[in-house]
Amino acid sequence: MPVDISKMLSDAAYQAYERNLVQQVKSRPVPEHVAIIMDGNRRFAESIGLRPLTGHEKGREKLEEVLEWCLEAGVKILTVYAFSTENFSRDTEEVGHIMRLFAENFRRAGDEGRVHKNQIRITVLGRRDMLPREVVEAIEYCEARTKGYDKYRLNLAIAYGGREEILDAIRGLVRDARSGKIAPEDVDEKFFSRRLWTADIPDPDLILRTSGEERISNFFLWQLAYSELYFVDVYWPGFRKIDFLRAIRSYQMRHRRFGK
């Protein structure tokens, strides 16, 4: 079989570029918390002639890769937008397939050696009452197995909606105000933040979205106030390590003023 010299040179150049990016990223402080809107599973599958449902399986595999990249770079918290409250309106077969993947993957994550070796705490953010029982049970199993860890965190936003999260917090405040537990002057930004589903998680430093779409899609509407945003024109399963490193590098080159 003839050797493809051009491909070998191309691969070598790519690897050299990736190594250079890794060195650049590690030379400066990395974001503590990276949040990713994982978009484009179905379109990725269709673009290479696969069934749309296969795209979600490819997306799951990509998340495992990205988690490894975060560990390598030193990113302490990774949050991914995996399934929105609006996604339940999709085709029944697709939703069912995704729910089966969730149940399978949370069970597996709870037992995964890499998770325990790196002391990764796994948490789910969202409306669990909207999820099938087997998915909730798998989530609870995974969370219970990792709740004692504090070295790294992996948060998955499932059955999540930013507006619903804020409304849920407001409802709780109204109930407490009616019962006399809190007064209006008690409520400030920090107080309100503690009533959100992300109460014990710092706001993301960097929010990244794949697929080329440049919108937030009801994700972290309160938490993104001072986050840096980065959009990449590649479908989630096709997201490469150099795409990830470029996003981190872009963040490092920015001057965060927090409104000052």
Catalytic positions: 39, 87
- Phi, psi for residue 46 in degrees, rounded to 5: -65, -35
- Identity at 61, one-letter amino acid code: E
Record the tokens describing residue 99, joined without a space. 């729910």
- Phi, psi for residue 78 in degrees, rounded to 5: -120, 125
Record the tokens describing residue 32, joined without a space. 């503590």
Task: Give Cα 159 to chain centroid, integer Å.
Answer: 13
Place of tokens 């499932």: 158
Using DSSP, state whether 16 is helix, strand or coil. Answer: helix
Q: Are 36 and 213 in contact (CB under 8 A)?
A: no
The whole-angstrom separation of Cα 212 and Cα 203 is 23
Record the tokens describing residue 4, joined without a space. 């493809």
